[in-house]
A and B are shown apart, each in its own frame.
Chain A
Amino acid sequence: MDFLQPSSWDEALAVRAERPDALPIAGGTDVMVELNFDRRRPGALLDLTRVGELQEWSIDDGTVRLGAGVPYGRVITELGDRLPGLAMAARTVGSPQIRVRGTVGGNLGSASPAGDAHPPLLAAGAEVEVASAARGTRRIPVAEFFTGVKRNALEPDELIAAVHVRTARGPQQFCKVGTRNAMVIAVSAFALALHPDRQAVGTGIGSAAPTPRRAAEAEEFLAGELDWAGRAALPESLAQAFGERVAAAAAPIDDVRGTAAYRRHSLAVLARRAATWAWDDLRRAA
């Protein structure tokens, strides 16, 4: 095994093109587990922690460009106001030791159906910026990024550069079910974003389908029913109907962490609560 340690983005892309057998590593919170347990023996590790460009975020025209190497801890402390949904999810990741290392880019690279960053990115309508030495940069809507269990739309010569997330125009929520607060892989997770500027609703479901996914029909339903102009209280029956539609959008399985039936049920509850909380936040802000 080789240890490849580029010090710039251009160099990283060149190395990626030369070594399709290299496994990119950032915070190591997924990759090192695979190595420690002999689950993977890549031809090389491609360490991205020396690529300064990946460790930065910037904001342009109301959209945050979050470098793939920014750890969860910094999302919480530096972006909690602009990206509240993602920051809420980041607070539920692992433990302090994990949040200081694990990155949103790494989460996207692993593409686990249970990745905590994915539901809020889906709800916000984020785009993943990927790049290769040969073809330059392209952007992939995050809803099209996940192609299967732990599979994503990256080509073998591509690396994840950043994720572009519009700053919150309205309240956002993230809910996650697990056996304790810390160190939990989600049994189910749900993210919601209200976009009052365009009277739209965003959703993201985690741990309840082969990939993280939106509940598109539930989004349209809720957006159509909400009293955007008058901002009247959210009827309980509407919140419940929304929850049922979110649950219907899932395709969960039974596994060691929970049953499919429980995942569906919990999603309906999480979605109902998230919608109520977010709508109440919006009414208070008015």
Chain B
Amino acid sequence: MRVTTTVNGTERTADDVWPGESLLHLLRERLGLPGAKNACEQGECGSCTVYLDGEPVCACLVAAGQAVGREVTTVEGLAPGQSLHPVQEAFVEAGAVQCGFCTPGLVVAAHDLLARVPEPSDPEIREALAGNLCRCTGYEKILDAVRLAARRRATR
């Protein structure tokens, strides 16, 4: 089947998509966007988190056909070109990136949190990131990064 969807502001089309295929597979293997990561394939780890019509979802749990005509934003689309979004900068500066596999999903989840709640409390941060697993950092540096991004946003 043919799937046409808007990804990071650009209309993209893929042919011969298997109807049971996930949005994650479509993004990574057909549209050349490897930012969202493929790990658990069951919605447990959050490493494939992308926006679908403005809501953060696990791309592995969205059928590619369900994204037809919808708007998808991946981690690649958060900032123009090679620049980094302030949330991404904060992750780098706070040491929240180790192996990096969970980072794109966490960046999208944190990006969504700060768009909804500009000055989140620690429990709000933990709740918002509860669906994203990191096996390296122990999460403390990730919490630091979200707090840093929130502070910067408040003073800008």
Contacts of B1 in A (CB 8 A): 3
| Closest beta carbon of chain A to B60's beta carbon, Å | 6
B55 cross-chain contacts in A, Cβ below 8 A: 100
Smallest CB-CB separation from A98: which chain B residue? B43
Q: Which residues of A contact B96 (CB under 8 A)?
A: none
A183 touches B60 (CB 8 A): no
Chain A interface: which size bin?
20 to 34
User: Which of the 9-residue segments B61-69, B72-80, B136-144 touches chain A?
Assistant: B61-69
Q: Which residues of A contact B131 (CB under 8 A)?
A: 94-98, 182-183
A147 in contact (CB, < 8 A)? no
Number of interface residues of B (CB under 8 A): 29
Contact of B20 among A1, A5, A94 (CB under 8 A): A1
CB-CB under 8 A from A35, the residues of chain B are: 20, 22, 63
Which A residues fall within an 8 A CB radius of B? 1-3, 5, 25, 27-29, 31-33, 35-37, 41, 44-45, 47, 49, 94-98, 100-101, 181-183
Residues of B whose CB lies within 8 Å of any CB of A are: 1, 18-20, 22, 41-44, 46, 49, 55-58, 60-63, 65-66, 68, 109, 112, 127-128, 130-132
Jot down 20 A-B pairs with beta carbons below 8 A, ordered by A: A1-B20, A3-B19, A3-B63, A25-B63, A27-B61, A31-B63, A35-B20, A35-B63, A41-B20, A45-B63, A45-B65, A47-B66, A95-B43, A95-B132, A96-B112, A96-B127, A97-B131, A98-B43, A101-B58, A182-B131
